């Protein structure tokens, strides 16, 4: 376990949304944070001191998911308005809109090479889009209820999806077929994702559980029961050693997957926590929830060991090989109850120097795929139009007076 000097620390928080945070993602360069909310807005936060935040206006209903492209040059968002949007993350906020789903869209996910986008919807389908041509490619149908999440494997060969039909399905992106199926008789998974090496998946359960499966041997490896509310989101540390979870019980928890145990419980949010995500380097993670706050945490645990494991994961590109001990963690499936030798961190109980971020916000209004203007620019345009009208009226009045005289 990490020493006290390496414990996660709440570094700063961001305020700007007017309703619950549904999703967030840190940019690949670690300098920006994108958030989605029930308030129908997408926000882009810059970590530089005194930098303004951008609020993208365009979706007509709750924004359910947001993700940066691997190169950070695009932002994808999904909404209950049944659309998917691709934004350029700058002050112009130009976007493209994708319409193909017939019900609210619940998640977006870029492939690791940035060439494809997978979207999951309450129309019971997963759809895959080409980013190069920005067009729809194909749909995946086998779920019998709302699909809550769909994620690419690191090599792009597979997609994992979870649904309220209480199944988790693995899809082959080459032949577009469902090649594996994990089912649960108790609850359904709210969120699912691959580990960094692509050999395992983890699920966040509505039944308060977190499960880790090996996708090559179709085996449940770990089953954690550490939350007292539904688990809404998970995120793997880039090393693959740790998993962070967000729950409706108001806490974040960090699991050590190699030792198979809970090591941290993080307080800080008031009410349910809906989303959490590690940065690409693993030195930061962010969380958001019903309290409308976005918390940014710093952690240095396992930093040196992480570099070696990342190299090992990159080398293990042949996924048909027999399972490796470090890939599947404990060799046999076993449940994990919360243990007493865990560290609980509650920033509210400590006197800490937080960087509180309530930066000036610029609203970016979107009209079509080529034109967006800020509210300030729109107001200036309206003022100019009124001034022109006023001058024209004065000229007409002056001409009328001259004709009478």
Task: Let me know: does 365 contact 372? Beta carbons within 8 Å.
Answer: yes
* Euclidean distance between CA atoms 210 and 329, whole angstroms: 15
User: Which pTM value belongs to this model?
Assistant: 0.82
What pLDDT, in 10s, does the model give residues 99-128? 999 999 999 999 999 999 999 999 999 999
Q: What's the pLDDT at 396?
A: 65
Local structure of 255: helix, strand or coil: strand
CA–CA distance, 132 with 387 (Å, rounded to integer): 44
**Cβ-contact 152, 131 below 8 angstroms:** no
What residues of the chain score a pLDDT lower than 70? 1-5, 301-341, 348-357, 366-405
- Which of 301, 315, 299 lies closest to 196 in space, CA to CA? 315
Residue range 187-206, pLDDT digits in tens = 999 999 999 999 999 999 99
Token pair, residue 272, equals: 């349910």
- Distance (Å, whole) CA 165 – CA 142: 10
Residue the block writes with tokens 């949007």? 85
Q: What is the pLDDT of residue 302?
A: 54
pLDDT for 37: 98
**137 — alpha (psi -120 to 50), left (phi > 0) or beta?**
alpha
Structure confidence at residue 391 (pLDDT): 56
Q: Are strands 177-183 and 361-366 parallel, antiparallel or unpaired?
A: unpaired
Q: What is the pLDDT of residue 227?
A: 97
């Amino acid at each position: 376990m990490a020493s006290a000097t390496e414990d996660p620390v709440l570094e700063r928080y961001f305020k700007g949304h007017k309703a619950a945070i549904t999703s967030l993602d840190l940019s690949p360069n670690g300098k920006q944070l994108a958030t989605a909310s029930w308030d129908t807005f997408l926000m882009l936060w810059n970590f530089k001191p005194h930098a303004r935040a951008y609020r993208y206006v365009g979706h007509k209903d709750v924004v359910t998911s947001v993700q940066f492209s691997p190169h950070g040059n695009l932002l994808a968002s999904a909404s209950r308005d049944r659309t998917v949007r691709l934004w350029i993350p700058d002050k112009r906020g130009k976007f493209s809109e994708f319409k193909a789903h017939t019900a609210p869209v619940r998640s977006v996910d870029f492939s690791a090479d940035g060439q494809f986008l997978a979207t999951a919807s309450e129309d019971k389908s997963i759809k895959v889009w080409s980013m190069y041509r920005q067009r729809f490619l194909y749909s995946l149908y086998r779920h019998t209820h709302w699909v809550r999440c769909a994620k690419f494997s690191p090599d792009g060969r597979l997609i994992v999806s979870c649904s309220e039909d209480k199944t988790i399905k693995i899809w082959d992106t080459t032949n577009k077929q469902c090649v594996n199926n994990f089912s649960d008789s108790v609850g359904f998974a709210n969120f699912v994702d691959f580990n960094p090496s692509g050999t395992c998946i983890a699920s966040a359960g509505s039944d308060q559980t977190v499960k880790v499966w090996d996708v090559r041997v179709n085996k449940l490896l770990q089953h954690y029961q550490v939350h007292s509310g539904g688990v809404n989101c998970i995120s793997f540390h880039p090393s693959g050693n740790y998993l962070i979870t967000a729950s409706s019980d108001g806490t974040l928890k960090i699991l050590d997957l190699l030792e198979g145990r809970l090591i941290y419980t993080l307080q800080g949010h008031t009410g349910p926590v809906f989303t959490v995500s590690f940065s690409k380097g693993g030195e930061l993670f962010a969380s958001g929830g019903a309290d409308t706050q976005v918390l940014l945490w710093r952690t240095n645990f396992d930093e040196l060991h992480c570099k070696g494991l990342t190299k090992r994961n990159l080398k293990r590109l042949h996924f048909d090989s027999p399972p490796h001990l470090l890939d599947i963690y404990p060799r046999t499936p076993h449940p994990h109850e919360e243990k007493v030798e865990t560290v609980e961190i509650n920033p509210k109980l400590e006197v800490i120097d937080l960087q509180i971020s309530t930066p000036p916000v610029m609203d970016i209004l979107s009209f079509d795929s080529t034109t967006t203007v800020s509210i300030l620019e729109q107001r200036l345009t309206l003022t100019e139009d009124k001034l022109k009208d006023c001058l024209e009226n004065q000229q007409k009045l002056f001409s009328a007076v001259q004709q009478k005289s």
